[in-house]
Amino acid sequence: MDWEKRFKEKPAAAAFLATSDGKQRRAESDISEAAKRLDEANRNLVSAEKQKLAKSPQQLVTVEARGTERESRHGKAASEFAQLTDLVQQTRTQAEDWKTKRDPYQQPAA
């Protein structure tokens, strides 16, 4: 019977959804922590370079240019993070759609 098959598939769909939720939370947490560490490392590096090169204005300009380059890379990383977050959300939506399609008796959320 078709309803028995669907009833047996429901736990697998729920487990898949729970696993994808956990992976999304872990990925978001890891990316957030990595971004924080990157910011701190950049600040420390720029500060150390500025202190070391403070005697030479030309060298200081070079250090500031490197800082600008790092900021640009950080912006790119933030953009990639946003793309990953969008991809995770799309995956979550697809999993929800799959779950709904697999369980035709599911009541719509109020």
Tens of pLDDT along 25-75?
Answer: 888 888 889 889 988 998 898 888 887 766 666 666 777 788 888 888 888
Give me the number of domains the chain comprises: 1
* Pair 3, 106: CB distance under 8 Å: no
Residue 99 confidence (pLDDT) above 60: yes
Range of the domain at 45: 17-99
Is 63 domain-assigned?
Answer: yes
Tally Cβ neighbours within 10 Å of residue 59.
Answer: 14
64 occurs within a structural domain: yes
Is 7 within a domain? no
Is residue 9 scored above 80 in pLDDT? no
Residue 6 lies in a domain: no
- Assess if residue 105 is contained within a domain: no
**Cα–Cα distance list, 9 to 6, 12, 30, 48, 86 (Å):** 5, 5, 32, 58, 28
Residue 102 burial (C-beta neighbours within 10 Å; 0-12, 13-18, 19+): middle
Model pLDDT, residue 52: 76
89 in any annotated domain:
yes
Q: Within a domain: residue 2?
A: no
Instruction: Answer yes or no: pTM beyond 0.95.
Output: no
In this prediction, residue 68 carries a pLDDT of 84
If you ran DSSP here, which 8-state letter would residue 110 be given?
Answer: -
The larger pLDDT score, comparing residue 54 to residue 99, is at 99
pLDDT of residue 46: 87
**Helix, strand, or coil here: 101?**
helix
What is the predicted pLDDT for the residue at 23? Answer: 82
Please report whether residue 83 resides in a domain: yes
